[in-house]
């Protein structure tokens, strides 16, 4: 194998990275930082490499973030949040403040990567585009705050298994409310 055959594809990929705009790098960095914050809040800063489960979780989140940083619109972007949610469920009882911080970090990371996936890779976003994106995020944050408030209020109430049906219907309504509509 000749050296140019190995180096040329790598050089082309590195040159392609230079064409990515600053807005894209900012959004990808915000998404990565927020997801890493959720990872640290999930396992704890000192327990990140304490046992094999935490190492496996960190590797899964890292690989998913790497894939999402290279291509923000990839379906592998769902891997880090799902892995973190599974880790939270496996931990059992989590304090509400910590769970809220993890949820907010995951929401902000997802919003940053979603915006990075929908805007052009090249060029810069105008201030009006940033304002439009922020206006679109406000209803999502408001609905999330209402849902979090309901969870906190109802956490001490013991309800029957039939409430699962109402919970699923509420999740479907929330999903349909947040979905973009065709124009």
What are the E-state strand segments in 11-105? none
Share of the chain above pLDDT 90, in %: 22
pTM of the model: 0.74
Averaged over 76-82, what is the pLDDT? 89
Mean pLDDT of 126-150: 87
84 shares its domain with 40: yes
Look at the chain and report how many structural domains it folds into.
Answer: 2
- Together in a domain, 36 and 68: yes
pLDDT of residue 38: 93
Q: Can you say how many angstroms the Cα of residue 41 is from the centroid of all Cα atoms in its chain? A: 14
Average confidence (pLDDT) over 47-56: 81
> Do 168 and 141 lie in a common domain?
yes
Going from the C-alpha of 140 to that of each of 25, 77, 122, 147, the distances in angstroms are 23, 19, 27, 10
pLDDT at 72: 85
Domain hosting 138: range is 127-183
CA distance 105 to 34: 5
Same structural domain, 29 and 116? yes
Determine the pLDDT at residue 67.
92
Last residue of a domain, one of 125, 154, 175: 125
Do 34 and 53 fall into the same domain?
yes
Among the three residues 125, 144, 174, which one is the final residue of a domain in this structure?
Answer: 125
- Regarding whether 166 and 108 lie in a shared domain, the answer is no
User: What is the predicted pLDDT for the residue at 98?
Assistant: 87
pLDDT at 1 over 60: no
Residue 18 confidence (pLDDT): 67
Both 134 and 77 in a single domain?
A: no
- pLDDT for residue 40: 92
- Collapsing DSSP to helix, strand or coil, 172 comes out as helix
pLDDT at 139 over 80: yes
Region 132-157: mean pLDDT is 85
Q: Are residues 101 and 54 in the same domain?
A: yes
Asked if 65 and 134 sit in the same domain, the reply is no
- 137, 111 Cβ separation under 8 angstroms: yes
Residue that is last in its domain, among 85, 110, 125: 125
Do 100 and 56 fall into the same domain?
yes
Same domain, 56 and 118: yes
Q: What is the dihedral of CA 80, 82, 87, 91, to 10 degrees?
A: 140
Residues 6+ apart with CB under 8 A from 78: 64
Mean per-residue pLDDT, 9-36? 84
Which of 11-15, 86-90, 150-154 has the highest mean predicted lDDT (pLDDT)?
86-90
Please state the rounded mean pLDDT for residues 27-55. 87
End-to-end CA distance of the chain: 53
Per DSSP, 181 falls in state P
Same domain, residue pair 42 and 132: no
Q: Report the share of the chain in percent with pLDDT over 70.
A: 95
User: Which of 116-120, 154-158, 170-174 is predicted least confidently?
Assistant: 154-158
């Amino acid at each position: 194998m000749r050296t140019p055959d190995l180096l040329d594809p790598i050089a082309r990929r590195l040159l392609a990275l230079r064409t990515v705009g600053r807005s894209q790098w900012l959004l990808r960095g915000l998404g990565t930082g927020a997801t890493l914050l959720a990872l640290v809040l999930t396992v704890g800063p000192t327990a990140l490499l304490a046992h094999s489960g935490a190492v496996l979780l960190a590797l899964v989140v890292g690989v998913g973030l790497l894939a999402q940083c290279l291509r923000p619109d990839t379906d592998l972007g769902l891997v880090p949040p799902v892995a973190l949610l599974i880790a939270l469920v496996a931990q059992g009882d989590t304090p509400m403040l910590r769970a809220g911080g993890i949820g907010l970090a995951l929401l902000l990371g997802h919003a940053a990567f979603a915006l990075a996936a929908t805007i052009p890779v090249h060029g810069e976003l105008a201030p009006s585009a940033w304002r439009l994106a922020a206006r679109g995020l406000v209803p999502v944050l408001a609905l999330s705050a209402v849902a979090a408030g309901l969870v906190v209020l109802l956490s001490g109430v013991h309800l029957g298994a039939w409430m699962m049906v109402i919970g699923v219907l509420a999740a479907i309504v929330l999903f349909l409310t947040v979905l973009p509509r065709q124009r």
